[in-house]
Structure 1
Amino acid sequence: MSTPSFMFLEYKLKLLSLPKRDIKEFEEHFMVFIQNFCEVLLPEMEDYFPNNALNNTYWSNIYYDWSEIERLENNVYRVKLAFAHDFTLSKRGKKKFAEECKDFVRRLNKFFEIFEFDVRFEDEPFNIEYYDPGSEDNDDEDLFLYDDDDDLFR
């Protein structure tokens, strides 16, 4: 059995209106929502609803215990989402996994918009980190694409 590696994406989450209840309740319920959405709703739908996607395995791999939310200012939060991957990844694999994770957050934003919830993640994370407890090479390398990596996603 392999040890999972982790991709941490940190976003600013903005509330476009005030929560209906206490702010602290919002923080707790937001993280519970993420957990239930990823661990219950999406797997149930994926198992029984028609789906043409080739691979949505990262959907259910948000580690709730390693994710966090912190209030920065009125209506703005820092949300750190921990995505797990089953294997150690190459540099190219890390970048591809980061793009898949960012795509997941974009889809969450669409979900919020479609169902008229007044919360939005910023378009891009302000921090991306990769951690592999099974690797001796955890040098926190920059995961953002360089000019010579343009062909990575073609």
Structure 2
Amino acid sequence: MPTSNPAKPLDGFRVLDFTQNVAGPLAGQVLVDLGAEVIKVEAPGGEAARQITSVLPGRPPLATYFLPNNRGKKSVTVDLTTEQAKQQMLRLADTADVVLEAFRPGTMEKLGLGPDDLRSRNPNLIYARLTAYGGNGPHGSRPGIDLVVAAEPA
């Protein structure tokens, strides 16, 4: 019986995942499943989805909302509002193939980590931005998460 794992399409790819909740983490999870090294970037204390737990009798609480979309990822905790964290993320982005982010449009630019900032250092970087309402249009700057958007009338 072979003991080695077969090659996967994204073996050797590095992804920085700045997303939270469902859509972004699920996108990152698909990349993990395809072989990419995905590094989840979280604020101190972790993302809120870590706190949504289920409890089975005789078992410790389990972060059932967080775990399915973040398995197999590496993680780093940083306060992105500090200059030290910004410099760490710039260096990490220099080694990345993909950045996933799902902040309100303009947030990463304010942090000095927007697509222009990162591509000026790493021109081949793929920068994927997931927003609740798109980056343009009448609601482009509104905050939103998956569940809120799904509940809105069409």
Normalised to the residue count of structure 1, the TM-score between the two structures is 0.25
Tell which has more relative contact order, 1 or 2 (C-alpha 8 A, sep 6+): 1
Structure (1/2) with the larger strand percentage = 1
Structure (1/2) with the larger helix percentage = 1
